[in-house]
Amino acid sequence: MRITKRIFVELYNEYFDDIRRYIYYRSGDEQLAADIAQDTFVKLYQNKKLKKEHIKSLLYKIANQSFLDYLRRKKASTDYLEHIRLSFKSSHDISNLNLNELKIAYEKALSTMPEKDRIVFLMSRMEDKKYREIAESFDVSIKTVEKRMSSALKYLKKELKEFE
């Protein structure tokens, strides 16, 4: 079944609140639940092979997978910050590094990093994409991805220098 605009609107009106509540129940975060529900319907719309009798289960499957992807990215981000904190602490014997200050500085550095470098960094570190996959996504060479990643890491090192 091909999803027409009319069918999509009907499905959205019928299932959006159910999907949002399902994710809210799992996450406890209203904004996250709304974002994932919205993303679920975008993915549904992009799906080419649909069977009318399977749409509801497909929506829940997409929503669940999106939520799990979010948790993996969040864990990777937290793990990376903890790795930075521990490496600074062990190599420089900092006794009381404030993780919140480091997190704020890290997020600020990410927001000011050149966009192409930031995208490559996030795809590699937060989404666990291989350089080859990133290169294919942007139709560039693996060497270009390596250079952007190197640039991103140098930028972070420079911006987070005060935590050394």
- What residue type is 49 in one-letter code? K
List, in order, residues 6 or more apart from 66 with CB less than 8 Å away.
36, 39, 40, 43
Q: Using one digit for the tens of pLDDT, what is the confidence trace for 72-97?
A: 777 666 666 666 666 655 544 444 45
DSSP string, 13-53: HHHHHHHHHHHHHHH--HHHHHHHHHHHHHHHHH-S---GG
What are the structural domains, with CATH classification, of the chain? 5-70 (1.10.1740), 98-163 (1.10.10.10)
pLDDT above 80 (res 53): no
Residue 117's pLDDT is: 92
Which of 84, 97, 144 has the alpha carbon at shortest distance from 120?
Answer: 144
Whole-angstrom CA distances from 58 to 68, 111, 118 are 15, 35, 32
Residue 149's pLDDT is: 92
Q: Using one digit for the tens of pLDDT, what is the confidence trace for 129-160?
A: 888 888 888 889 999 999 999 999 999 889 88
Please state, for a pLDDT cut of 90, what percent of the chain lies above it: 10
